[in-house]
Structures are given as C-alpha cells and as structure tokens.
Structure 1
C-alpha cells in the first residue's frame, strides 16, 4: 500500500486522515514590541510555553491521524536541486534580497529550510548593514504556525493562499512548492497569483474558507479575503458540473480578532455549528450573500437574513452553539477574542479547542459534547473511541495570544466522506 496521501477535503467535519502542522520555533521569539505590529501580533509570545502547548496539540493529533511538519516537508523538497534553485530565486526576487541568494543556495537542505522559516541574519560587515535597524536580511515567518492560511484543501485541489500582508507571502510560496513536489503528498494546486484579472486586488486566506459540504462553500470577506479573491474562487467552481452554492459572510475590520471567518463561525457536527452571536445571528450591517452556481453559470446573487438561516435553506440545518454562552455579551467578547469560536473538527461531533474558554466549553457540554482534557488523551488515560461527541480541551494561554485557535493551527489535507 502506498504511503502517499492524496489531498481531498469535501467537508469541515469528515474524519481527519492527514494534517499539516508547524511547531513554532525561533521565528516566534525573534520579535520586539517595535516589530510585533508589523509581524501581525498584538503581543509577544513566550516561546517555551507556546512550544509546550503546541506539542500537546500535535501529540493529540498523532493519536488520531497522520501529521506532517512543514519544516520536514520543506527539507525533503529542497533536496531536489531544481526546486531549491527555483524557490530560493523566487523568494529572493519577491523580497528584494538577491544579494543573499548564493549564500542560501550553498546551504544544505535542513539548514536552508530552517533559515527560510526562522529568518536570515543581516550581514553587518557593510556600512549599510551596520547602520540598519533590521536584524534580518530575510525576515522570520512569525505566523507560520497558523498553517491554515497559506494553503487550503478545497475538494480535490489545494488552493494556494494569496496573503493580505507581504510579511506572510513566503508562507504561500513554501506551501506551493511542498504541494507541487513532495513525495509524501499528491495534490493539484491552484494559485490566484496566476489570475489574469484583478491580480493585485485578489487576496485569499484559509481562515476565511470553509468547505461546508460537497456543494457548499462558506467564505468570509474582510481584511484578509477580498471580494476579488472570492470571484476567483467562483470562476474555478464554475468549471465543476452540477449545482454549487457559495455563501459569503462580510466581516468587521475591527477588532483584530475578526480577521477571519473561523474566528466567528466554525462547523462542529452534521447538525451543529459554533457562532459568535453578535456577528452571525444578530441583525447587523454585515451582509450574508448567497451565490448560486448551476452547470458553470452564476444563476443568482442575493442577500440572506443570516448565515445559519441561509445554510438551513440550502438543506444544511445547523443548531448554533454560542461562543461564550448566551448570557453575557462581555463574556462572549472576551472568549471570542481568545479564539473561543475557533474549533478544529477531527470527525463529526469530535473537535479540538482551547481549555481557557470555559463558558464556551460549558455551552458545548450542554449541547451534548463531552469535555476531555487533552493531556489525558496524550497520556492514554482516555480512549476517544469511548465517546460519540467530544471537545478535546488543549492548553492555550500563549498560543491564543498569537491570534488564532485550533483550526488556525491545522491544515487538513484529507478527510473521509461524511455520511450526511
């Protein structure tokens, strides 16, 4: 039997069969209050704590599915000279650091993979370098442990992210190279950068793209994914036969915790979803729009009352579970800020989220989900097969401060088909 895994994701909740992770390393620590905002952080993480928290997430996933590390996959493809030369050349051109190209190409694959992620120190042997306020010639990829954004599995393709911020562009370049050349993963990639229309206006990030069902995509539009990016996806979906629906949810630009749709809405089970009530359920100025596609043609674009009602009308009835509970808007706001709505499903009714969001977990429990301590799973004290529906509660005091949750930190590449 082949060890190669072929990418295919037709839902958010199908039993997970493969996921890509990136354990945070020195790139997270290489930050100061002065450059944190440029790195898209509102705070500086304690790496030693963040590493342990992420290790727990990975150990849980290793009990459930096959996991891949970005750095390992990158090291493997950099052994191919043509790939190494092409990727380094593209990165140096994109980031205007051509003088370091030859030194990067001289590195062995493992060290090159490390430097492409953790950054390349700036040479201080010139006056320009000596006087520069920069520490790195090639900046660290501070956000790469949020592997969801730079690439996304959509049906039988991998859509390469076109990032809203230049500081993250290299993540997409690395992921595209991995999916195109890894011996462990077989995939077909789509890159919005190849678009002939509105290329400069297109941005798409994986936190905004949810594969609800074989015929339904739910996509957020706001600071990170533009309407032009969604139009690119529509154009690609139009090539598929049959009927397809794309549900678009507008998102606020502030606060920063609303950067992606999966910070206010995630799918938990065949009949349940997690919602941040003020944005998803309550009347507000952020529109929900349904785009109906039939055999290659957009038949209708129309406004909907809200996201949950729209999915119900499409034959996908979902009972909302409320981030932070139903009683107190302040609690809802606080837990949403710490990724309380951001759950990663490992199967129907089987999800992973942060233990710190206690009111959200209480709400999950009242909706039939058993709350399971992650360390008990890691230590083998609990057998997940004993439970039909559960939330594995992972530690996240530091990871949440990076601005994302369990879904943000996982990039699924294959899921089993859901029996709806």
Structure 2
C-alpha cells in the first residue's frame, strides 16, 4: 500500500511545515510524477500496488458502520470541539465516500466546509474566534505519504500504530477503517496485534497514543523474528505490547529490540538499517555501531518474557535469519558524504525481492557500494519526495510477502 502525493501536501507552507513534520514544502506535481515512477518500477517487478486513498474511499462506500465510526473518532470533542462536533459530523456524513476520503487525508478548511459560522458564533467559542476561512476544521495529514508507519504487518496480522507526534495520530484511524471495513480485508482471517478488537468488533482506543510505535521501526526478518527499534518514536512499552500479542498466538518466537539514540536524523530503524538480501544488509555505521540488541522470547515459569541482551546487533540478526554472518554494505563515501546520504535516505531502500532494491538515485556512493556487492539497484528520482525524510521503505506498507 502506498499513498500518492495529494491535497495534504498542497497544504504545506513555510509557516506550517515544521508543525506538520516536514523540513520543506514540496512541489507537489513533481512529487506525484516521482511517486508514479516509483509505483511503475514496483509493478514492473510483479508487485501488486494499492493506493491508500482509493482503499479508504472504497471502505467508506462499502460500510455505513465504518463510515460513521471513522467520522466519530476523527471529528470528536477533542479534535473539533464540543460545540461544533455535531455540525462537523453532519457535514462529513453528507459527503460522498470519495470526497470524504480526500478530506480525511487532505484536511478540510472552514471555507470548504460550508459551516454557517454566523449561526455558530453565538454558541461556539471556536467559531467565534475564527477570523480566517483558510483555517482547518480537520488538519491535513501529509505524512500519510509514509504508509510504513501508521500500520505494519507481521506474521499473519497487523498492528495499527499509535504514533509519536499528534500531527500523525489520525492517520491510524484511516488505515483502521480500511482493514476493518474494506471488502478486500473484511472477509479475511487475520489478527490485530494492536489494538485489540472488542466483543463488538470495535477497536479499543481509550489508551491509544499514551505510548507510541511507528512501522518504520518494525522489520519482520523471517524465521519468526521481528526487529523493532527503540527510537525517537517507538517506546519499549509498545514493543512489549506487540511482543506479547505475537507470542500469545504463536505467530513469532523472538522480538529483537534495537536500542537507538533519539535523533530526528534517524527517527526510525529503517532510516539507518534495512535488509537487501537473505544475508545482506545496508546500514549507517555512525549510528548502528553503537546500538544495543535485546531479545525478547516467550517467558517460562509464569514470566511474561525471557529477556537476553545480545553480544552485538549484527550477530543477533545473523543468528535470527540463520546465516553464519551478514554481508554489510555501509553508507557510501567519506564521513561527510555518509552523513549526507543517510539524511537523503541512502539506507532507506525497499527490497522488491531478495537482492533487488529501489533507491533514490541521488545516493550515488551508497548505490555504487551496493552494486559492487552484487545487489541490483533500481534508481528512482526523489528530489521532492525526499523532502519528507523518507525513502522507498518508508513509502511502502507491505500487506503480504512471499516467504524466504
């Protein structure tokens, strides 16, 4: 699942891009072109690609219950205010499914909403304070571009992730609606690792967001093992939640927590480490040489977990995937170039099959090292896409993978 750059990215401005977690504003037409080329390269290799906004619109059209539930959690007293919640819910309920999906991701301004502010000003302090028709009733969600983060699939199930920054948390509700109500998923038998479904088949969201997890930190590497980074945006409490759910169902036998420094430059594990082949990885040495690896396995004698600290990260991964040692391709160039290419997502590549990866063409030193090691690299342009600090790995949410 990917998300083509859309209305939400057109809402980025120099004054709000920091709040919306972008380092710059994007030329959206160019970003759409680059994203289309990325999707085309994947499809040429036999990857079935779904567009998130299309899936969301189809889910909303397929289920009145799902539509109403998503409107309720998106337009709540905490997001639009107690005095306006009924008005906002009413106008969203009247939108056609495709238009509703557009605005749930792209945001909705006062002017676009058609709300009668003259009437509402006498009953709502929020309406009374509005002095700009361009203000948002619903915020845009431009980070939806990075579909890896809001949900992640592991061994026959999915985690819908409570994300670190408030600017991203509504993304999770959109993907929850897809997995719960889209016809492609509704009839399938799969687990929800987090959060749990209640008896009424609704998500338990009371504690959603009190601790955080993002899919860029989660890497199922095979043999019943999952790597999860303890990074700027994923916390140990959520790693334990996911590990417990996986172990209880016998879906996984080992979770390796990767203890990282907290830094915007490497906000997720996949910005500094990804798999290239069954026995090959790429990593940014300035970060990965200092990480710690802690393995969680199912506990014995009544304990929830059995926890061991590994000698080092790379040997733990090699042991988990069942190889004597990993082939390691470090970020290319001298120290200055390595830092530049890590910032430009040189290590954030996505493998379409073992030994075949997609990478931003600008990371020439790292690509050269990958090719020298026998990895086939499919280069794509990313001059606009890369401004969001995410590469091909960040922009893809795999539903299903062929086993190794």
| Corresponding residue number in structure 2 for 1:414 | 400
| Corresponding residue number in structure 1 for 2:193 | 190
Give a deviation string over 1:16-55, Cα, whole Å, max 9, x none.
Answer: xxxx111011211212222111101111111111111101
| Corresponding residue number in structure 2 for 1:154 | 154
| Corresponding residue number in structure 2 for 1:320 | 328
Give a deviation string over 1:232-286, Cα, whole Å, max 9, x none.
Answer: 01211221349722111122222x1211000000011011011111111x3x3x4
Q: Which has the higher strand share?
A: 1
Deviation at 1:86, TM superposition (A): 1.2
Matched-pair contact (CA < 8 Å) for 1:291–1:298: no
Matched-pair contact (CA < 8 Å) for 1:141–1:167: yes
Give a deviation string over 1:120-145, Cα, whole Å, max 9, x none.
Answer: 11258456354259621101111101
1:46 to 27, 31, 34: 27
1:210 and 2:219 aligned: yes
Q: Superposition pairs for residues 130-279 of structure 1, below 5 Å?
A: 130-131=130-131, 135-185=135-185, 186=188, 187-192=190-195, 201-241=210-250, 244-254=253-263, 256-279=264-287
Matched-pair contact (CA < 8 Å) for 2:109–2:133: no
Deviation at 1:417, TM superposition (A): 1.2
More moved, 334-343 vs 196-205? 196-205
What stretches of structure 1 of length at least 5 have no aligned partner?
A: 1-19, 370-389
| Corresponding residue number in structure 2 for 1:385 | none
Change in CA separation of 1:242 and 1:410 when aligned onto 2, cut-off 3 Å:
closer
SS at match of 2:307: strand
More moved, 239-248 vs 349-358? 239-248
| Corresponding residue number in structure 2 for 1:401 | 387
Q: Distance in 1 between matches of 2:337 and 2:251?
A: 43
SS at match of 2:147: coil
Change in CA separation of 1:290 and 1:30 when aligned onto 2, cut-off 3 Å:
same
Matched-pair contact (CA < 8 Å) for 1:162–1:192: no
SS at match of 1:83: helix
Q: Distance in 2 between matches of 1:181 and 1:133?
A: 34
SS at match of 1:35: coil
| Corresponding residue number in structure 1 for 2:64 | 81
Q: Distance in 1 between matches of 2:205 and 2:79?
A: 22
Give a deviation string over 1:179-238, Cα, whole Å, max 9, x none.
Answer: 111112334323338679976542111000000113211110122111111010121122
1:96 and 2:90 aligned: no
| Corresponding residue number in structure 2 for 1:346 | 352
TM-score for both structures, normalised by structure 2: 0.86
| Corresponding residue number in structure 2 for 1:8 | none
TM-score for both structures, normalised by structure 1: 0.83
Q: Distance in 1 between matches of 2:110 and 2:205?
A: 36
SS at match of 2:75: helix
Change in CA separation of 1:305 and 1:334 when aligned onto 2, cut-off 3 Å:
farther
Matched-pair contact (CA < 8 Å) for 1:238–1:297: no
Deviation at 1:305, TM superposition (A): 3.6
Q: Distance in 2 between matches of 1:399 and 1:333?
A: 19
What stretches of structure 2 of length at least 5 have no aligned partner?
A: 122-127, 197-202
Report the count of equivalent residues.
Answer: 373
Change in CA separation of 1:130 and 1:196 when aligned onto 2, cut-off 3 Å:
closer
Q: Distance in 2 between matches of 1:241 and 1:24?
A: 38
Change in CA separation of 1:150 and 1:200 when aligned onto 2, cut-off 3 Å:
closer
